[in-house]
Every structure is written in C-alpha cells, then in structure tokens.
C-alpha cells in the first residue's frame, strides 16, 4: 500500500490581529533534510520573530518519526498544533514551517495555538499530493542473462533498478512495489538464470 506525500513545496498565508503567519509545506525524507529546510527559512526570513515547525516521516497511519519546535513561542502553542494538523491530514513525509511576523498585538496562549493550527491547516488544505508507493529492496544474483530479464520485469511492474554490480556473477538491487512482491517472488523462484535472491535486511 502507498500513502500521500507532498507533490512539491507549497505555501499559504493568514493574518491574525496584525500578525502575519507564512506557512510552508515541503516533502522531506529525513530529519536532517527537514532541519536543513528550517535553517533555509530562518536565513530567508531573518527579521521574523519566530520560525516554528513540525514534521512527520513515513506512512501517516503510523509515522516512524516526528518532530516539532516552538522556536521561542510559549511551550505547546506552535509546534504541537502544527503537528496535530499533520497527524489528521493523511499525508506523510511532510514538513510544515510557519514563519510569524509579530503585529504588535499579543494573542495569548489560546490565540497562538489557534493561529498556528489555522496556518498549518491553510497550507495543508491546498497542498498538492501524489501517492508514494511502498517498495521493498531486494538483491538478485545470477548469470549475466538475468540482468536484462530483471530490467524488463522492472519496467513492467514500475519497479526501480537501483544498482548493478558485476563480478563473476551479476548482482542487481531493485526497489519493488510491496503490493506486487508475492508475484515477483514466485517469478524469481521460477527463473533459471537466477542463482539466489535476498532482501538486504536479511543479510
């Protein structure tokens, strides 16, 4: 099964009592990538009072990693409401950064929480998404004839040939759609040119 991820970066803006909230959503694949994007926004908007963010990685039904930061706002009033919006949007591998320009009117803890949630909601509501297909890594070893057969099957099944190593035998690493793994496994076992196969995590 796959899940929705951002198709591309996206942005939205709201204003609450003269404070401007600029919300940016990005596709991300790691915490390191997310932190680099946050740093970019801090550099791009150095005069803003706060650069708050949250992200979640993996399938939104069961994310394997998530993070958030209030960036100087009262604890729990920025990162948490952004993350709460993400957790209800069925979109994975996503980072939302909200840049706030203070308008001179204090919003209070409740007002801040609502404003950051509304900012995240605004950018996520119109975020273009695509489906990310869950894929399994598999290494296949065989004679040189098997490489062409594997490339052909990969094209038919929308799989990815990630690497090919040549030695006495050829070793091909593929990323195979998880939903079609049982069918591919049966094909591997029936193909005479293939000597062995394994999932890398089984090594």
pLDDT digits (tens, 9 = 90+) for 22-39: 999 999 989 999 999 999
Question: What is the residue-averaged pLDDT of the chain?
Answer: 89
Q: Distances in Å between the alpha carbon of 195 and those of 40, 117, 149, 170, 192?
A: 48, 55, 13, 10, 8
C-alpha 89/C-alpha 55 separation (Å) is 12
Q: What pLDDT score was predicted for residue 202?
A: 42
* Span 119-145, average pLDDT: 88
Set out the domains of the chain in order of their start, with CATH numbers. Answer: 3-131 (3.30.230.30), 133-202 (3.30.70.260)
* Span 150-163, average pLDDT: 85
C-alpha 31/C-alpha 71 separation (Å) is 17
User: Per-residue confidence at 1, pLDDT binned at 50, 70, 90?
Assistant: low
Q: What pLDDT score was predicted for residue 200?
A: 59
Determine which helix (DSSP H) or strand (DSSP E) holds 152, and give its type and residue range: helix 145-157
Predicted structure pTM score: 0.70
Q: Distances in Å between the alpha carbon of 96 and those of 2, 53, 81, 117?
A: 21, 6, 11, 11
Can you tell me which residue has the tokens 């957790």? 87
């Amino acid at each position: 099964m796959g899940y929705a991820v951002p198709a591309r970066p996206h942005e939205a803006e709201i204003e609450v009592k003269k404070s401007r909230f600029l919300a940016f959503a990005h596709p991300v694949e790691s915490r390191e990538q997310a932190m680099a994007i946050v740093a970019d926004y801090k550099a791009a908007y150095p005069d803003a009072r706060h650069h708050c963010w949250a992200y979640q990685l993996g399938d939104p039904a069961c994310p394997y990693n998530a993070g958030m930061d209030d960036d100087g706002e009262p604890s729990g009033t920025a990162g948490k409401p952004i993350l709460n919006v993400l957790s209800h949007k069925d979109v994975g591998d996503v980072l939302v950064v909200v840049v706030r320009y203070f308008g001179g009117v204090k919003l209070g803890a409740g007002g801040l929480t609502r404003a950051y949630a509304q900012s995240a909601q605004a950018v996520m509501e119109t975020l273009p998404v695509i489906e990310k297909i869950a894929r399994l890594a598999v290494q296949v070893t065989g004679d040189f004839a098997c490489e062409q057969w594997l490339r052909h099957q990969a094209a038919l099944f929308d799989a990815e040939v990630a690497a090919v190593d040549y030695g006495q035998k050829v070793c091909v690493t593929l990323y195979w759609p998880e939903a079609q793994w049982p069918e591919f496994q049966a094909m591997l076992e029936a193909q005479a040119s293939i000597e062995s196969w394994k999932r890398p995590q089984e090594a």
